[in-house]
Amino acid sequence: MMNATRRQTPSQTVGPFFHDTLVSEGGNILVEDATRGERIRIFGSVLDGDGVPVPDALLEIWQPDARGLYPHTSDPRAEEADEAFRGFGRAATDNDGLYWFETIKPGGPAPEAGAGQAPFVSVRVFARGLLIHVVTRIYFEDETNDADPVLSRLDPEGRTSLLARREEGGPHAHYRFDVILQGPNETVFFDV
């Protein structure tokens, strides 16, 4: 069947009133007992250009399992992916602009995907005042990131903005990742 090329529907802001629909209890917890891999907590703040916390942002993350596999037909190794890990989570920021996820450390991309690719978590941020969401990535400061082809193209400040900082706290590793929407320390956002 022939289908005509269709132009995209414009994005519009998520606004301030999405919580009752898009945010559910436990939506920011990606792990269950059977999930394989190192438990980690990713947390941080979303800040605006004045350094003011954004209390009405929504973050979505998408990541592979502990061996770097995505449970999706486009991943040739999907059948081996951890059945106890969906890889998708949502978290809203609280009144102080803070969010957190309980997840696992993602595995790196397959070697044939290209030498030196470091593990990462894909992130989308929606908020009142963002007409269209922003896309970024969380890399981990304690991984081997030097040869990563995406990080290597960024200036040092941009690279730093994508590195989650490891903090010891509680039963497992905590990684801090702040999203700075605007300003001199603005997080690197991608055109996907």
Partner 1 sequence: MEPSNDESSSDRSLDWTVHLPYLHPPYASTVTRAPRRRLVPLPECLASVTGPAFGAGDVDALDDDLTRNAVRTGEPLGERIIVIGRVLDGAGRPVPNALLEVWQANSAGRYIHGHDQHDAPLDPNFTGTGRCLTDADGAYRFTTIRPGAYPWRNHENAWRPSHIHFSVCGRNFLERLVTQMYFPGDPLLVLDPIYNSVPDERAKQRLLAAYDHGVTRPEWALGYRFDIVVAGGRRTPFEDYHR
**C-beta separation of 2 from 68 below 8 A:** no
DSSP bridge partners of 138: 121
DSSP bridge partners of 166: 175
Q: How many residues sit close enough to partner 1 to count as binding (CB under 8 A)? A: 71
Q: How far apart are CA 175 and CA 81, in angstroms?
A: 24
Q: Is 108 in the site for partner 1 (CB under 8 A)?
A: no
Closer CB to partner 1, residue 159 or residue 174? 159
Q: Choose the stretch contacting partner 1; rule: CB under 8 A; options: 37-45, 53-61, 138-146, 169-177.
A: 53-61
- In 3-state terms, what secondary structure has residue 22? helix
**C-beta separation of 145 from 151 below 8 A:** yes
Tokens 């037909």 correspond to what residue? 73
Q: Is 96 in the site for partner 1 (CB under 8 A)?
A: no
Min CB(160)–partner 1 separation in Å: 14
Structure token pair of residue 91: 């978290």
Site for partner 1 in 124-163 (CB under 8 A): 124, 126-135, 150, 153-154, 158
Closer CB to partner 1, residue 18 or residue 174? 18
**C-beta separation of 78 from 15 below 8 A:** no
CB atoms within 10 A of CB 32: 9
Closer CB to partner 1, residue 154 or residue 174? 154
Min CB(8)–partner 1 separation in Å: 5
Tokens 């470091």 correspond to what residue? 118
Q: Is 19 in the site for partner 1 (CB under 8 A)?
A: yes
Closer CB to partner 1, residue 102 or residue 174? 102
Q: Is 98 in the site for partner 1 (CB under 8 A)?
A: no
Min CB(166)–partner 1 separation in Å: 22
Q: Choose the stretch contacting partner 1; rule: CB under 8 A; options: 34-42, 66-74, 97-105, 163-171.
A: 66-74
Q: Is 15 in the site for partner 1 (CB under 8 A)?
A: yes
- Choose, by CB under 8 A, the member of 36, 39, 67, 86 that binds partner 1: 86
- In 3-state terms, what secondary structure has residue 161? helix
Ramachandran bin of 106, using left for φ above 0, alpha for ψ from -120 to 50, beta for the remaining angles: beta
Q: Is 169 in the site for partner 1 (CB under 8 A)?
A: no
